[in-house]
Structure 1
Amino acid sequence: MTIAPSVSPVQAVENAGKLGVVSFGLFGDQGVFRSEATGAAEVVAGRFETGPVTVQYNSRKGGSATIEALARSLLAAANRLDAEKDVLFLILTSHGSPDGLAIKAGRLTQTLTPSRLADMLAKTGVRHKVVVISACYSGVFVPRLANPDVLVITAADANHSSFGCEDKARWTYFGDAFFNTALRQTVSLKDAFLDARSLVRKRELREHFEPSNPLMGGGANVLPLLVERP
């Protein structure tokens, strides 16, 4: 786990840009992913100075949250951001496997791999990015994506499941801990992650699940740009 050093409030305000938020609920057979993608975007938009906000999700009947639509949405958001000063904030919620993220829109099925997502993000031209992935095995994305300009937060490491994917739930365990609880209360993504990781572990142990081990990597150059609304 790599966590950037703290930044003074004065320095942070001077460096602050705005966020472009793209949030996708990728697996349509369970409503929790639609709910989480929508709710997470609302929390982020409420905490930080945001520019464009795009939310898409799938359902059992179909939907527009495909690999191709994600690529288009990232480019569209990037076109409305300052490539050096602003931050592209991507939220993905779905089922996951060691191969990547599952996409299910009606009869359409796809797998979003770490390499494919890395290529999409690179094509945006936006230097600073945050990627939050709520899915089993989502730690597989950290080695491919994380660097000083890209902060990656995942609900699990590369070898474990995450929990809370019930159809009628509003949040997964990680989404509830990170977006719905910690990010509403803390002043930084780093603190929100540390709080959420603790909350998730306590819940998993209480329910006798093997810990999912959420991860945070990269982002040393990104965290100074993430300044909450006054």
Structure 2
Amino acid sequence: MRKSKPTFTVQSLSALIAVVALSGCGELSPGNPNAQNQSMLLEQRQDAQAVQAATQATGRRVWFAGFAMNSTSTAFQNDMELVSRRLSELGGPVLKYEDSNGPQKDKLNFPFATPATLANAIKEISSHAGPDDIVVVFISTHGNRKILSVNVAHHELKPLTAAQLSSALAPLENRPTIVIIAACFSGSFLPELQAARRIVITSASGERASFGCQADSQNTFFTEALFAKGFDASKSLSRLMADAKIRIAQREHELRFRNSEPQMSVGVKLRWLAERPLKDWFQPGDETTDVPAVDPLSLLGNAGKNAYREYQSQPVPRAFVISSGGAGQYAVGTTPHDRSLPDDPAARALALCNRRGLADCRLYAIDDRVVWTGN
């Protein structure tokens, strides 16, 4: 009898492994020629529908390119559909390209979300969008530093890199563009993506995970906080982001999770869009880059304020950097522990801020001298 127990355990484990291995069976993937053909036809249909709708629209239009790039959680496709729905509720013409790797059996409902389909969708949008149109690119998936996971039918494909995404976005040139990435370590994409006519929003800094992507999650914490709980189209994107960061921090604190540090980088030529109520996106308006002056120290969150207090007690030479996400970073002395970093404390503080994946890292002070150069 004693020998039967190990035998039963091995048999049970073998059965369990078989079930796990089959969990993705039956789901369509790009390796299936029929599925790949379906995906291509859906891409073509989306483009035809968007172009037709664009020709019938007057005034400013919003182009939405949404990508749920991972099949291992329901949250990613739900995120994409939530953002798409919110944009549609704004009351103006929204032209949509929606790709998803959510479980799809027998027949595809969305084109596959891969680096190739992302690049194709953005290329099509760039050829049809006018110079005053607004482009919103949204990606939800698992992530790591400088990479975003691409998983179809529970099979991991080559990831989307920061360099690839930057290259894919290049055809949009000077069109007002908002890029939103809901993924762990997504702030690591900021150095490659920041641009004068681009707003980049990430669910985490370059050193932090974000949460809410379990297999059966409804939405990620970030997308839910930004587009579901408390969403108000009379608020600006900057205000919505500030409110969402508070909700996310509270939720993470209650769960004893390390704060994800969501980031928002606003290009100097898109400050008007960051501060305009979403309900007014389709209305003509003065697209000025002028904004009221603010005290840069008011941008700091609690951790950033603590860092500045610590900085003030450090010996010279020293330098302090502030990010638009409310974080502070300082460097002291001319002999860094990490010899790959610059000796100059100002250059080193900026490098450390960028390494953390924080948005719009800007020098605030050198020693006791404020060198901030405006908003």
* TM range, smaller chain: 0.7 to 0.9
Distance 2:259 2:187 in 1: 13
- Aligned counterpart, 1:228: 278
- The counterpart of 1:54, out of the listed 84, 97, 109, is 97
- The counterpart of 1:128, out of the listed 176, 180, 185, is 176
Distance 2:230 2:193 in 1: 24
Give the aligned length.
214
Task: Tell whether 2:78 aligns with 1:31.
Answer: no
SS in 1 for 2:199: strand
Question: In the TM superposition, what is the alpha-carbon distance from 1:54 to its structure 2 partner?
Answer: 1.5
More deviation in 115-124 or 201-210? 115-124
Question: In the TM superposition, what is the alpha-carbon distance from 1:51 to its structure 2 partner?
Answer: 3.3
- Percent of aligned pairs sharing the same letter: 23
- Aligned counterpart, 1:217: 265
CA change 1:214–1:180 in 2 (3 A) is same
Q: Is the 2:68–2:102 contact (alpha carbons within 8 Å) kept by the matching residues of 1?
A: no
Task: Tell whether 2:185 aligns with 1:137.
Answer: yes
Distance 2:234 2:193 in 1: 25
Query: What TM-score do the two structures reach when normalised by structure 2?
Result: 0.54
Question: In the TM superposition, what is the alpha-carbon distance from 1:195 to its structure 2 partner?
Answer: 0.5
- Aligned counterpart, 1:99: 146
- Aligned counterpart, 2:310: none
- Aligned counterpart, 1:89: 136
SS in 1 for 2:218: coil
Structure 1 alignment gaps of length 5 or more = 1-15
Task: Tell whether 2:207 aligns with 1:149.
Answer: no
Tell me the amino acid that sits aligned with residue 42 of structure 1: R
Q: Is the 2:87–2:94 contact (alpha carbons within 8 Å) kept by the matching residues of 1?
A: no
- The counterpart of 1:80, out of the listed 124, 128, 148, is 128
CA change 1:102–1:190 in 2 (3 A) is same
Tell me the amino acid that sits aligned with residue 279 of structure 2: R
Question: In the TM superposition, what is the alpha-carbon distance from 1:127 to its structure 2 partner?
Answer: 2.4
Tell me the amino acid that sits aligned with residue 59 of structure 1: G
CA change 1:92–1:58 in 2 (3 A) is same
Q: Is the 1:22–1:91 contact (alpha carbons within 8 Å) kept by the matching residues of 2?
A: yes
Distance 1:80 1:49 in 2: 17
CA change 1:183–1:149 in 2 (3 A) is farther
Question: In the TM superposition, what is the alpha-carbon distance from 1:18 to its structure 2 partner?
Answer: 2.4
Question: In the TM superposition, what is the alpha-carbon distance from 1:29 to its structure 2 partner?
Answer: 1.8
Hey, which of these two has a bigger chunk of strand by percent?
A: 1
CA change 1:186–1:159 in 2 (3 A) is farther
CA change 1:134–1:122 in 2 (3 A) is same
Query: What TM-score do the two structures reach when normalised by structure 1?
Result: 0.85
SS in 2 for 1:47: coil
Question: In the TM superposition, what is the alpha-carbon distance from 1:189 to its structure 2 partner?
Answer: 0.5
Work out which of the two has the higher radius of gyration on C-alpha atoms and give 1 or 2.
2
Higher relative contact order (CA 8 A, sep 6+): 1
